[in-house]
Structures are given as C-alpha cells and as structure tokens.
Amino acid sequence: MNQSYLELGADESKPIKAWIKDVPVDQKALEQLHNTAKLEVVFPHLAVMPDVHWGMGATIGSVIPTKNAIIPAAVGVDIGCGMMAVQTSLKASDLPESLAEIRSNIEKAIPHGKTFKGRDKGAWHSLEEPQIKTWESLRPSFLKLSAKHPKIADRVNHINHLGTLGTGNHFIEICLDEEQFVWFMLHSGSRGVGNRIGRYFIELAKKEMGRHIKNLPDVNLAYFSEGNPSFTDYTEAVSWAQEYARLNRELMMQSIIKVFKQSHRIPSFNLLNKAINCHHNYVSYESHFNQKLWITRKGAVSAEKEQLGIIPGSMGDCSFIVKGKGNLDSFKSCSHGAGRILSRTEAKKCFSLKDHIAATSDVECRKDLDVIDETPRAYKPIKKVMQAQHDLVEIVHTLKQVICVKG
C-alpha cells in the first residue's frame, strides 16, 4: 500500500508523519517540528498537515499528541479558533447584481477589525439580548477561573467581543457551491479573552518549569503535567475559551442570517443543512493507539470517519466542505486551510495593490493596502493542499466566495 505521508523524524526524536507531498514547506517550520518531536511527553508521533507553516510557539498545521501533559503554546492564544458554515435555499440568481450593499450591511451588523481604546471598531458599544444571554451562560465559569487567576480578567473585552469577528485571517464569506446554492461561512475564535487566557498560561508554564525549561529544545514548548494544579486550571480555562469561540461563531452566523432576512432585495429562504461549527486551534482528550492522549490540533481539524468539516482557501480561492475518513496515522485530523506560504511582512513586500485587485477580481471585498497581507498569493494553492490529504478527507462541496468581509 502506498503511504501518502512522508516520514520526517530524526533518530533523537519521535517520528513525524507529514502529508506534504507537492506542497511547499519552509525550513523554519521543519526545524520547529523537529524540536516538538524531541519532547518526552509527545507520543507516539507528530502528524503534519499540508498547510503546515511556522507559528508562534508551535507549528501551524500540526497535530501534537501528548501523554499526561499539555503544551499551552501549542494550543496558542487564539483558543478555539475555527470555522462555521451553513447552506441556504438561496441560489446565485437570488442575489442582486451588485453585492456591495450586502457586504456593507454585514460590516455594519458585525463589529470587525482592531479594538482601540476609545474608538472600538471591533467590539460592541451597546449590547443586545443575544450577547447578554450568551454571556450569562459563560459568566459563572469565567468568574470561577478569574477568582483563581485574576490576571485572566485584566483588560479584556469578554462580553463586548461576543459575536464579533476580529482581525488578521478571520473573515465572513458568502459563497456559492457547485449547484449554485448560497452558503454563509465565517472564521473566528475566542477573541480578546481567549488571547488573554492563552498568554497567561503560556507564561505560567514557563515559570513553573523553572530550571527544567533549559532542557527543552524551545522554551515555548513548556508544558503542564497531569497532577499539577495548573494543569487542571488550564484544562478548565481552555475548555471555557473553546466554548466561548463556538458561541461567538454562532452569534455572528445569526447576525448574517438576519442581514439577509431583512434585505428587501433578497427573497425568503431556509437553511438546508445542520450548521457545521468546528475548531481548528484546540486541545481534546481522545483515545488513539490504545492510549488516552491529549490531542492538540494547532491549525488542524478533527476528521473522524463521516464527520463534516470546513477547509477554507484564501480570500480569492475556493473552499471545501469535507467528510473525514478517520485516518488513524493523522489522529483522525486534516488541514485547517491552505496555509501561508509568505509571512504577513513578506506578502506586503512582494505584492502591490494592483496584484491584490487582480487576484480578487471576482470577489466583492476590501481592495486596499491594509489587506495585502491576506492577498490570495500569500497562501499555498488550496487544490494542491487538498490533493496531499486525499486519504484524510473526502470533498463534499466546493465553495467559491462572492463576498468576503475581512477585519
């Protein structure tokens, strides 16, 4: 049987199984993977997805199984970041010829962009019932966590960020599938409060490892071991942040649906399928290879057999609704997107506004210098990424965006 992954492991490390055939991988990411594979808590091997690229703390596009331990920096600071998508009964012919008004209405309905003190563009100024009700369900656990670790609650917009998009590669898209049905799709995570929780526990892990941190190949790979009170606190905090992220996406999806329902230019419609809402930056306690392991998916999606997931391309390329094949070697995982081929800084140097306009010519989206770092050619070709993981997922729908909202 032809194995579709490559073996990257060195003698002094755990094996690395990488689904990277015919896709570019930068040297910095490879070095980072080898460092992670040297950890004694990693078991039995690392799995690497085709969208792999260097990331802060740990490699994006990697699945890191650990025994009796968790690495906070592997989970990262955008805890619970992920995707949500829903298919509607609308067809392409139901959309107006000009999509500018719809994009504008979405941007008005959902706060997005950076949050600045005194001029918050990315947070709610006045809260509505959905945000208040959702926060009330999250609040008791947050108060319990912050009572133990007060710094978690320091300078965070927890309730004001619920139902908001954020910045960077987070987006809202209106897409068409192969039968011209309209889909609503979005990408976001746990916003400021998740970032605060992530940074706090990353530093706490480094501090608690003390002199032992010198034995790590990278200080960012500091971990909590089971039995440590901070391990329990972190698992509770990360679980809470993952739930916050899931609910954040649900609130935004409600807002998108409301925008379309209220438009006099859009006919009435229904939702055709159960919404897909999946994390791709998270940790989960799972059984693999007859062991109970902590599985950290850092830029990877759960792909259990028959499980639906979302793999987005860049803002000018297609995206995919997929069904998992339950591949055991990948810890039943797949990629979380196309993956960057250029850093944000490199993309701004390499591409002009003219390049970006040409690459997004068929998409109603921002076409200004502030989004050059997200221009399509900063990412790997999504079709090559999908080919490299053909034994991890099956494509169910191919989506092409017609509207893209970026923070």
Percent of the chain whose predicted confidence (pLDDT) is above 70: 97
Measure the CA–CA gap between 321 and 311, rounded to whole angstroms. Answer: 6
Q: Which phi and psi (to 5°) does residue 390 adopt?
A: -65, -20
Catalytic residue from among 279, 336, 356, 397: 336
Cβ(339)–Cβ(169) below 8 Å: no
Instruction: Report the 10 Å Cβ neighbour count for 73.
Output: 25
> What pLDDT is attached to residue 23?
95
Residue 336 known to be catalytic? yes
Contact between 4 and 19 (Cβ < 8 Å): yes
Tokens of 223: 């971990």
Confidence of residue 213 (pLDDT cuts 50, 70, 90): confident
pLDDT at 2: 60
- Integer angstrom CA distances of residue 159 from 73, 139, 188, 225, 318: 25, 9, 15, 31, 33
Q: Is the pLDDT of residue 118 over 70?
A: no
- What is the rounded end-to-end Cα distance, in angstroms, of the chain? 45
On whether the CB atoms of residues 42 and 288 are closer than 8 A, the answer is no
Q: Is 290 exposed, middle or buried (0-12, 13-18, 19+ CB in 10 A)?
A: exposed
Query: pLDDT tens digits, residue range 327-372?
Result: 999 999 999 999 999 999 999 999 999 999 999 999 999 999 999 9
Question: Helix, strand or coil for residue 365?
Answer: coil
Cα 122 to its chain centre, rounded Å, is: 18
Sort strands 16-18 and 46-53 into parallel, antiparallel or unpaired: parallel
In whole angstroms, what is the distance from residue 203 CA to residue 207 CA? 6
Identify the three-state secondary structure at position 353: helix
* Per-residue pLDDT, 393: 98
Percent of the chain with pLDDT strictly greater than 90: 89
Of 106-120, 141-155, 252-266, 362-376, least confident by mean pLDDT is: 106-120
CB 238 within 8 A of CB 199: no
CA-to-CA distance for 45 and 206, rounded, in angstroms?
24
Using CA atoms, how far residue 347 sits from 58, 353, 355, in Å, is 21, 11, 11
Question: CA-CA-CA-CA torsion for 203, 12, 23, 344, nearest 10 degrees?
Answer: 30
pLDDT in tens, 82-98: 999 999 999 999 999 99
Q: For residue 295, what are the β-bridge partners?
A: 65, 284
Q: Please state, in angstroms and rounded to a whole number, the distance separating the CA atoms of residues 281 and 301.
A: 8
229 neighbors 65 (Cβ within 8 angstroms):
no
pLDDT digits (tens, 9 = 90+) for 269-299: 999 988 999 999 999 999 999 999 999 999 9
State yes or no: pLDDT of 119 exceeds 60. Answer: no
Alpha carbons 254 and 49: distance in angstroms, whole number: 31
Confidence of residue 154 (pLDDT cuts 50, 70, 90): confident
Residue carrying the six token digits 């989506």: 399
pLDDT of residue 1: 44
The Cα 51–Cα 314 span in angstroms is 12
Q: Identify the pLDDT of residue 120.
A: 60
